[in-house]
């Protein structure tokens, strides 16, 4: 079974620029999550999708972050404009039915904002 | 106060030692308690999960939950250099589409040969 694919692996941008991350979940997984992991901290949930609908985006900074999951498969997370404090690893995870033991994380995109 | 607190370490032990990793939490609504292992530049992977208070064993790993004290532990016996990683505790609350995880900050473990 292929894992959760994320790209790019690394990205360096200047503050106030925009950036987009892409995630391809495990085939058939209905639930998709984006987490932000700042260096030395645990992952923090940004947004949860069930198919192509948003279930929880209460911790997403909506003034600069946006996410979509078209057709209930791939997802993109965008930051516009980026701030220095957005430097982090952005992890995508998917789950077949929302159960935590079915969670599979991708390797993440490491974003550095300079 | 964070919902889940975890000592960041780093924790350095010799090979073969018993390792104890701990988390405390404040939200009584948490239902499941998990331990994830995260190697450098990789995503977290689930090691163990428990639901009720008590112990659960899986090979060299034992997870312990004390709901009355809001305290969970992970013990690693006969630690190996390959166990060197960051260990994250996580706890879940069900929402209308499954489980939402709240993570601790992680403890970095180094097992020296």
pLDDT for the residue numbered B61 = 97
d(C-alpha A96, C-alpha A26), whole Å: 8
Judge whether B88 is closer than 8 Å to chain A, CB to CB. Answer: yes
Give the A-side interface with B, CB within 8 Å.
4, 31, 40-45, 48, 50, 55-56, 91, 93, 95, 97-101, 103-108, 110
CA distance B30 to B50: 11
Q: What is the pLDDT of residue B59?
A: 96
For residue A1, pLDDT beyond 70: no
Alpha carbons A92 and B17: distance in angstroms, whole number: 34
Average of per-residue pLDDT values in chain A: 93
Residue B87's SS3 state is strand
Q: In the prediction, which pLDDT does B43 show?
A: 94
Provide mean pLDDT across the span A45-72. Answer: 92
Do residues A22 and A76 make contact, with C-beta atoms less than 8 angstroms apart?
yes
Contacts A–B by Cβ distance under 8 A: 71
A98–B106 C-beta distance less than 8 A: no
Residue of B nearest to A90 (CA): B43
Q: Torsion angle of alpha carbons A78, A84, A89, A92, nearest 10°?
A: -20
* Ranges of chain B whose pLDDT falls below 70: 95-98
Dist. CA A43–CA A53, nearest whole Å: 22
Give the pLDDT score at A79: 98
Write down the pLDDT at residue B58.
Answer: 94
Q: Is it the case that residue A47 has pLDDT exceeding 70? A: yes
Whether residue B40 lies within 8 A of chain A, CB to CB, comes out as: no
Cβ–Cβ < 8 Å for A47, A56: yes
Grade residue A36 by pLDDT with cuts at 50, 70 and 90: very high
Q: What is the pLDDT of residue B23?
A: 96
Exposed e or buried b per residue across B3-38, where buried means at least 16 C-beta atoms within 10 angstroms of its C-beta: ebebeeeebebeeeeebebbbbbeeeebebbbbbbb
Q: Of A48, A99, A106, which is closest to B43 when you measure between CB atoms?
A: A106
């Amino acid at each position: 079974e292929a894992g959760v694919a994320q790209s790019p692996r690394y990205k360096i941008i200047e503050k106030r620029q925009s950036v987009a991350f892409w995630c391809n979940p495990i085939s058939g997984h209905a639930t998709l999550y984006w987490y932000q992991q700042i260096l030395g901290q645990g992952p923090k949930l940004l947004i949860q999708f069930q198919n192509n609908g948003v279930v929880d985006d209460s911790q997403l900074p909506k003034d600069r972050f946006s996410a979509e999951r078209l057709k209930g498969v791939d997802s993109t997370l965008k930051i516009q404009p980026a701030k220095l404090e957005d430097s982090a690893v952005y992890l995508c995870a998917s789950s077949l039915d929302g159960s935590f033991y079915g969670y599979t994380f991708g390797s993440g995109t490491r974003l550095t904002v300079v | 106060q964070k919902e889940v607190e975890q000592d960041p370490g780093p924790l350095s032990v010799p090979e073969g030692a018993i390792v104890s990793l701990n988390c405390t939490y404040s939200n009584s609504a948490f239902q499941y308690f998990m331990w994830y292992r995260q190697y450098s530049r990789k995503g977290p992977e689930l090691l163990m999960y428990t639901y009720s208070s008590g112990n659960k064993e899986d090979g060299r790993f034992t997870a312990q939950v004390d709901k009355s004290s809001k305290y969970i532990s992970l013990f690693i016996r006969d630690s190996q250099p390959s166990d060197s990683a960051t260990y994250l505790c996580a706890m879940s609350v069900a929402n209308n589409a499954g489980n939402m995880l709240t993570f601790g900050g992680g403890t970095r473990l180094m097992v020296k040969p």
